[in-house]
Chains A and B, each alone.
Chain A
């Protein structure tokens, strides 16, 4: 038994501040320090979420980790895959940069990496952190973490994800 995570968006509470973008960069930086990320690594770290503003509407555009992910189906080399927690991830070693995933994504949530334009860039659910940084730092609860218990999955899989602080997780589902 393990947990399946999903970032739930309530765009009616998105304030359009862009802190999701800011902290996405921090999450994927070397230093994990916000000031160093922007002062020293700005050109090497890109946010994997894009804030879309069309006033009064605004929302963070990011991978929805679809259940039946079109990008995974379309990937010609099997680089785009679903891991044990149902997260959609890209194995960059296998990727050949054909960008079929970008064409297939119904949300337009996959970008081309600016500093390595032969690779796609997408939300990896802050795989190495305890909780996705965009959720952690959203000031208005527009992004929340939903979890679903899945039966019959190997316990030994990725500890970092299963250790998510449960008190901050909405388990209403």
Chain B
């Protein structure tokens, strides 16, 4: 690389008293930020290549490394931040669109943090989940308006197909192609272990993962990759992806370099060709068209699987969700502006969409107003970070949530946001066989299961504190929520009271 105006983003501090020149950092860095000088018999670093993914830091046996943001400053300017200047330098150097990975890093308000939960005191007892049963079992799908029972107490009403989960959490859509097969396998294994579901994303279903069908949501997106009869029948539910929170309104592009033999055969495209997902589904230009696809999928699976429609949270999300419900969807997934991605144009990711908290509240409210809330389950997605976020989402009206970034972090992701380079040092967002083996699916699945089990405990504790012993009593129960540091208008849209009210 010749002259560049871009100063290194990070500096690598190597504590020479601790460094033993064992070359582990050099062997692990796919960015080649470390190198060994055989003359000096020492390891050195090339800071301009560092992406701060922490691979070397985690594996350094003597903890000799520390990576910091480059303290080099530009002349102070409240208008032109360091980032703004660097982005211009990058574009001026390359002439390209700025790309980025993972979710929106901009300091948008995170409304979960402005919402507080209730707890029982004196007038109603709290419940100890260690002593009393707690029900987190979640069913997603269309619910009948009323239930009729036979004389003997058995169910007379025919209940439409439901997706059954042990708790209201699922692993969100991440395609094989955007992530490695080992990562997909880990998600599938953990979903099975904890009896929740994972989502294939739009990359088809690898043949080795068909055995996890019961715990699989298969996705049909605009590229229609890997969609055929067996695929549709393989999962427990089908999701039509219209949009994604990280990049509403635009499609996807898996570069040909990542389309190796396995990805190609799973996606059913020629090896080495770019996998382009168009921005719209070319057969969906109206709610009526969406209805056709929903019923085509239901028909082809003999009405045995709930069909979900995933949209990005955008301005008129409530009206759109109402249309989707009326089009026959059983589940609506709303992905907020902080949702992650393997690759998105930075400008789109950082500026398009609305926070999922508002979208969720608006959709739940609208569907209730129209009397069709029972016709669909609502799933919230887009940076659910912990069990507290889930409890708040459920109380705000979600039937369940999707987690993507949290799942990746559990597997080893350090949020360096370089997924789009295909050089993921943690073996997640890459197809390079040298890197993919860094993710041992057994270890990753165990870490994912641990996370879900931990959240399950926390969820029950919080619910018990509120005196609630079944998740059904928490759903849409906004009385359990209070806002703090929010304007009247924000509280109004969220449909919650201010703390103290």
A141 near B24 (CB under 8 angstroms)? no
A125 proximity list for chain B (CB < 8 A): none
A34 near B432 (CB under 8 angstroms)? no
| Residue A55, interface by CB 8 Å | yes
B443 proximity list for chain A (CB < 8 A): 140-141
* Residue from A15, A23, A37 within 8 A of B437 (CB atoms): A15
How many angstroms from the CA of A98 to the CA of B59 in the assembled complex? 39
- Nearest-Cβ distance from residue B411 to partner chain A, whole angstroms: 12
Number of A-B contacts (CB under 8 A): 58
Q: Which of A21, A37, A137, A139 has the most CB of B within 10 A?
A: A139
Binary contact readout A12-47 vs B (1 if CB under 8 angstroms, 0 otherwise): 111111110111000000000011011100000000
* Residue from A23, A56, A141 within 8 A of B434 (CB atoms): A56
| Residue B61, interface by CB 8 Å | yes
A14 proximity list for chain B (CB < 8 A): 437
With A18-B24, A19-B24, A22-B24 as given contacts, are A56 and B61 in contact (CB-CB < 8 Å)?
no
| Residue B153, interface by CB 8 Å | no
- Nearest-Cβ distance from residue A124 to partner chain B, whole angstroms: 21
| Residue B114, interface by CB 8 Å | no
A23 near B61 (CB under 8 angstroms)? yes
| Residue A150, interface by CB 8 Å | no
* Residue from A17, A39, A58 within 8 A of B24 (CB atoms): A17
How many angstroms from the CA of A30 to the CA of B223 in the assembled complex? 61
Binary contact readout B401-444 vs A (1 if CB under 8 angstroms, 0 otherwise): 00000000000000000000000000100001110011010110
B442 proximity list for chain A (CB < 8 A): 141
- Nearest-Cβ distance from residue A105 to partner chain B, whole angstroms: 26
For window 1-43 of B, CB contacts with A under 8 Å fall at 17-18, 20-24, 27-28
For window 58-96 of A, CB contacts with B under 8 Å fall at 58
B20 proximity list for chain A (CB < 8 A): 22, 34-35, 37-39
B59 proximity list for chain A (CB < 8 A): 17, 19, 139
* Residue from B21, B27, B433, B438 within 8 A of A38 (CB atoms): B21
B24 near A13 (CB under 8 angstroms)? no
How many angstroms from the CA of A13 to the CA of B182 in the assembled complex? 10
How many angstroms from the CA of A22 to the CA of B427 in the assembled complex? 22
- Nearest-Cβ distance from residue B366 to partner chain A, whole angstroms: 48
- Nearest-Cβ distance from residue A25 to partner chain B, whole angstroms: 9
| Residue B488, interface by CB 8 Å | no
| Residue A129, interface by CB 8 Å | no
With A38-B21, A56-B434 as given contacts, are A17 and B440 in contact (CB-CB < 8 Å)?
no
How many angstroms from the CA of A19 to the CA of B26 in the assembled complex? 12
* Binding site secondary structure of chain B: loop
How many angstroms from the CA of A140 to the CA of B17 in the assembled complex? 27
B61 near A22 (CB under 8 angstroms)? yes
| Residue B62, interface by CB 8 Å | yes
| Residue A112, interface by CB 8 Å | no
For window 127-164 of A, CB contacts with B under 8 Å fall at 137, 139-142
CB nearest neighbor in A for B56: A17
With A16-B27, A139-B59 as given contacts, are A38 and B437 in contact (CB-CB < 8 Å)?
no
A21 proximity list for chain B (CB < 8 A): 22
| Residue A52, interface by CB 8 Å | no
- Nearest-Cβ distance from residue A144 to partner chain B, whole angstroms: 10
- Nearest-Cβ distance from residue B24 to partner chain A, whole angstroms: 5
| Residue A169, interface by CB 8 Å | no
How many angstroms from the CA of A136 to the CA of B262 in the assembled complex? 33
B440 proximity list for chain A (CB < 8 A): 13, 140-142
With A56-B437, A140-B443 as given contacts, are A18 and B22 in contact (CB-CB < 8 Å)?
yes
CB nearest neighbor in B for A141: B440
How many angstroms from the CA of A55 to the CA of B30 in the assembled complex? 12
A12 proximity list for chain B (CB < 8 A): 437
B27 near A34 (CB under 8 angstroms)? no
A34 near B434 (CB under 8 angstroms)? no
B437 near A18 (CB under 8 angstroms)? no
How many angstroms from the CA of A137 to the CA of B27 in the assembled complex? 16
B434 near A16 (CB under 8 angstroms)? yes
B437 proximity list for chain A (CB < 8 A): 12-15, 56, 140
| Residue A53, interface by CB 8 Å | yes
B432 near A56 (CB under 8 angstroms)? yes
How many angstroms from the CA of A22 to the CA of B61 in the assembled complex? 8
How many angstroms from the CA of A76 to the CA of B432 in the assembled complex? 47
A sample of 30 inter-chain contacts (CB < 8 A) reads A12-B437, A13-B437, A13-B440, A15-B427, A15-B437, A16-B27, A16-B28, A16-B434, A17-B24, A17-B27, A17-B28, A18-B24, A21-B22, A22-B24, A22-B61, A34-B61, A35-B17, A37-B20, A38-B21, A38-B22, A56-B432, A56-B433, A56-B437, A137-B61, A139-B59, A140-B437, A140-B438, A140-B440, A141-B440, A142-B440
CB-CB nearest 9 A-B residue pairs? A38-B20, A56-B433, A56-B434, A13-B440, A15-B438, A22-B22, A140-B440, A141-B440, A55-B434
Beyond A18-B27, A35-B18, A137-B61, 5 additional contacts (C-beta under 8 Å) are A15-B28, A18-B22, A19-B59, A22-B22, A35-B62
